[in-house]
Amino acid sequence: MSNQTELQIALTGVNKHYGAYHALKNIDLRIAKGSFVALVGPSGCGKSTLLRSMAGLETITSGDLVIAGERMNAVPPRKRDLAMVFQSYALYPHMTVEENLTYSLRIRGVKKAEAKKAAEEVAATTGLSGLMGRYPRELSGGQRQRVAMSRAIIRHPKAFLFDEPLSNLDAALRVHMRKEIRALHDRLGATSVYVTHDQIEAMTMADHVVVMRQGVIEQQGAPLDLYDRPVNRFVAGFIGSPAMNFVPAVAADDGRSIILPFGEGQHLPVNRPVPRGRSLIAGLRPEHLVIDPTGAGPIRLDVATVESTGSNSYIATASKPDIVLVTNGRSPVSVGSRISIGIAPEHVHLFDAGTEARIAVEG
């Protein structure tokens, strides 16, 4: 992100402790105005704690939290002017849809007629117009989700905070709402922070993805940057579906290829020099592996299983570790047959076996 863009939320050296438990470790994060940032990671990685710290529902132990130019560390949630969409939607069960929508306005002293008008405008854009008199228990899951969204929109907040808002919806509706939330974000010119454990959601919706593990930001950047240049084995395995194959390897004497542990000393050429004898982990994305019909591919293994979804086939090899590759359409090979697999040298990811950090292309 360039320096010219206006920052909406900035976290510097933020830490959060629960007693002895260190939940957030030295978090640095800049969220530009108008951007859509996804916080993604396995459960317990601290992504929700980070979001709740921005909202003020958790107080940070140290560091700085700045929202729209103001330091907000100890400011109560109501004075932060952020809107949050909860995983459970948190709709007030004793209020109608309209009362849910106008609640924040009424607290701020907006006149009744004005609040009602604002609610009707928002409801019209989110398709809730006919449901204003209903109670949350009388709505479907998708409708509740929309009420939660509308309740956030009506306030024109400094930023929207989403805490896994789609995880209670069925798969089809989730895909649909993904697009809708992103479209809404663009239309409102809003700033959004979106927590999810689903990397596909993060990759498809966000312009900036933050991958977290155990309270640490492992990597952040544009979605495809993370896909192309993961900084370590964790990010490489987390981003992409099906997950990357990891194979222990040793750098060969020629310095331009690596030796895989599949017997016969299978050599795999790489596009960067590696010091001989160094222990490595090779990362091979299933979609980058191709079956070489001529049999000239550098990796030769037997097929253990073939799973086909019709559009794709997932082929797993009988080896230790096994290797999964994806082909379009029907599988060209059958179980038990020997295949020869190739991969373009620039697609081979290399990680140090000890630190698991990426070994970058030099120069």
Partner 1 sequence: MKRIFSSLADGKGFDIALIVFPLAFLFVMAGLPLIYNVVMSFQEVDMFSLGTFARPFVGFKNYVTLFSQPETWPILKNTAIFVVASIAGQFIAGFALALFFWTNFPGASWLRGLFLVSWVMPGLVVGAIWNWILSGDFGVLNYLLTALGIIDGNIFWRSDPNFSLWAVIIANIWLGTSFNMILLSVGLSAIPKDLFEAAELDGANAFQRFWTITLPMMRSTIGAIISLGLIFTLQQFDLFAAITSGGPNNSSNVTQYWAWDLSFRQYDFAQGATISVVMIVFVMMASIVYVRSTRHEVRG
Partner 2 sequence: MSETTKHRLMLAIACVLAAIYLFPLYWMYVTSLKSGSAMFATPPGLFPSDPQWSVYTYVWETRDMGRYMWNSLVIATGSVALIVLLGTGCAYVLARYRNRWVDVGLFLILMLQVLPASLLITPIFVGFSQLGLLATPRVAVIIAIAAKSMPFYVVLVRSTFMSVPMELEEAALVDGNSRVGAFFNIVLPLARNGILVSGILIFMQAFGEFVYSKSMIQSIELQPASVGLNSFMGPNTNEWNNILAYASMYVTPILAIFVLLQRRIVSGLTSGALK
Binding site for partner 1 (CB under 8 A): 76-78
Out of partner 2, partner 1, none, what residue 215 binds, judged by CB under 5 to 8 A for its kind, is none
Comparing CB distances to partner 1, the nearer of 5 and 59 is 59
**Per CB under 8 A, which of residues 159..218 are in contact with partner 2?**
161
DSSP assignment of 157-176, as one string?
-SEEEEESTTTTS-HHHHHH
Omega before residue 77 within 30° of 0, cis: no
Comparing CB distances to partner 1, the nearer of 106 and 338 is 106
| 123-152 footprint of partner 2 as x/- string (CB under 8 A) | ----------------------------x-
Of 85-93, 117-125, 191-199, 307-315, which segment contacts partner 2 by CB under 8 A? Answer: 85-93
Comparing CB distances to partner 1, the nearer of 56 and 223 is 56
Out of partner 2, partner 1, none, what residue 83 binds, judged by CB under 5 to 8 A for its kind, is partner 2
Of the candidates 4, 1, 60, 62, the residue with the CA atom closest to the CA atom of residue 29? 1
Which string of b and e fits 210-239 if b means at least 16 CB within 10 Å?
bbbbebbbbbbbebeebbeebbbbbbbebb
Of the candidates 42, 131, 148, the residue with the CA atom closest to the CA atom of residue 87? 148
Comparing CB distances to partner 1, the nearer of 71 and 111 is 71
Of the candidates 100, 156, 146, the residue with the CA atom closest to the CA atom of residue 126? 146
Q: Which of 12, 71, 92, 308 binds partner 2 (CB under 8 A)?
A: 92
Q: Does 78 bind partner 2 (CB under 8 A)?
A: yes
| Chain centre distance of CA 196 | 6
Q: Which of 69, 94, 172, 296 binds partner 2 (CB under 8 A)?
A: 94
Least distance CB 207 / partner 1 (angstroms): 34
Q: Is 104 in contact with 151 (CB distance < 8 Å)?
A: yes
Least distance CB 73 / partner 1 (angstroms): 13
Query: d(Cα 356, Cα 244) in Å, to the nearest integer?
Result: 14
Least distance CB 84 / partner 2 (angstroms): 5
Out of partner 1, partner 2, none, what residue 178 binds, judged by CB under 5 to 8 A for its kind, is none
Least distance CB 76 / partner 1 (angstroms): 4
Comparing CB distances to partner 2, the nearer of 86 and 314 is 86
Q: Is 311 in contact with 244 (CB distance < 8 Å)?
A: no
Comparing CB distances to partner 2, the nearer of 167 and 312 is 167
Least distance CB 163 / partner 2 (angstroms): 9
3-class SS string, 62-121? EEEEEECCEECCCCCHHHCCEEEECCCCCCCCCCCHHHHHHHHHHHCCCCHHHHHHHHHH
Query: d(Cα 248, Cα 250) in Å, to the nearest integer?
Result: 7
Segment (H or E) for 27: strand 21-32
Query: d(Cα 192, Cα 159) in Å, to the nearest integer?
Result: 6
Out of partner 2, partner 1, none, what residue 135 binds, judged by CB under 5 to 8 A for its kind, is none
Least distance CB 108 / partner 2 (angstroms): 6
Query: d(Cα 251, Cα 243) in Å, to the nearest integer?
Result: 24
Q: Which of 41, 46, 56, 283 binds partner 2 (CB under 8 A)?
A: 56
Comparing CB distances to partner 1, the nearer of 16 and 144 is 16
Out of partner 2, partner 1, none, what residue 333 binds, judged by CB under 5 to 8 A for its kind, is none
- Round the CA-based radius of gyration of the chain to a whole number and report it: 25
Comparing CB distances to partner 1, the nearer of 58 and 164 is 58
Q: What are φ and ψ of residue 113, in 5° steps? A: -60, -40
Q: Give ∠ CA 266-272-276 in degrees, rounded to 5.
A: 60
Binding site for partner 2 (CB under 8 A): 52, 55-57, 76-78, 80, 82-84, 86-88, 90, 92-94, 103-104, 107-108, 151, 155, 161
